[in-house]
Amino acid sequence: EAGVTQSPTHLIKTRGQQATLRCSPISGHTSVYWYQQALGLGLQFLLWYDEGEERNRGNFPPRFSGRQFPNYSSELNVNALELEDSALYLCASSLTQGSYNEQFFGPGTRLTVL
């Protein structure tokens, strides 16, 4: 069974640009989560999508946004990039939240903002 996949592996942007990160969940999973792992800040919850809807977002500014497509894949968009957005962005998926389900993580996208 294929795991969570993310693309691209690495992304280099300059300050002020926009970045788009993509995630494909495990087959059968309908929930997708995004986390930011920045140096010195640890793993921070960004967004949760389920059945195409944004269900929760963490303490991040509105320039962090995303969506979930009908096939449950997801996109994270970061507008007006700042230097401190440089981080590893991890996507995770789980079965839908009828009851709590564990999250399975992808390999991440390393975003570097110059």
Please say whether the beta carbons of 60 and 46 come within 8 A: yes
Can residue 60 be called a binding residue for other proteins (CB under 8 A)?
no
- From 12-20, 50-58, 67-75, 79-87, span contacting other proteins (CB under 8 A): 50-58
CA–CA separation, 50 vs 33, rounded Å?
A: 9
The two tokens of residue 82 are 């700042």
**Dihedral sign (CA 21, 68, 54, 28):** negative
Q: What x/- string results for residues 22 through 41 when contact with other proteins is judged by CB under 8 A?
A: ---------x-x-x------
Enumerate binding residues for other proteins (CB under 8 A). 4, 6, 31, 33, 35, 42-43, 45, 48, 50, 55-56, 58, 90, 92, 97, 99-100, 102-108, 110
